[in-house]
Amino acid sequence: MMADPLHIVCPHCHTTNRVRQDDLARAPDCGSCHKMLFTQHPVALDEAAFERHIARNQIPVLVDFWAPWCGPCLQMAPAYEQAAAQLEPAFRVAKVDTEASPTLGARFNIRSIPTLALFVGGREVARQAGAMGAADIVRWARFHAL
């Protein structure tokens, strides 16, 4: 029996795609813009794109709430890049600049940055404040996505 296709939001044009689960590891591309659905890099999300990715992705979405003036955020950025390469395509890995999108920071009551939030099925299921290394980010995300 074949599994139902998953909805995966394109990191480029934010169109929702239907992708068979066994095709996730085969570098699927977007049916609309034809770019790769997984780039091995975090996707920068504004408020509109954030809503689409959280509501429509049927894979866990890991979000780094950060700011460009934050030293620990900048220190964690390379580790977050490495984690994205390890977590995709099982996860969508994203970043929200709380300076550029302050309403998202306020809506999710982000009090310190960096803060990682994990969303599954459109809801936040876990949160962790403070910078982490790549291995810890991957371990934390996989543990909480179960």
pLDDT at 3: 66
| Contact predicate 64/94, CB 8 Å | yes
The pTM of the full predicted model, rounded to 2 decimals, is 0.95
Tell me which residues are annotated as active site. 70, 73
Give the orientation angle of helix 134-145 with respect to helix 71-87, to 10 degrees.
Answer: 60
Q: CA–CA separation, 56 vs 10, rounded Å?
A: 10
- Residue 28 located in a structural domain: no
- Residue 32 located in a structural domain: no
Q: CA–CA separation, 111 vs 63, rounded Å?
A: 15
Domain count, the chain: 1
**Percent of residues, the chain, with pLDDT higher than 90:** 91
Question: Tell me, what CATH number does 72's domain have?
Answer: 3.40.30.10
Dihedral of the CA atoms 40, 46, 48, 49 (nearest 10)?
0
Q: Which phi and psi (to 5°) does residue 19 adopt?
A: -130, 130
Q: Which domain holds residue 50?
A: 39-145
- Residue 53 located in a structural domain: yes
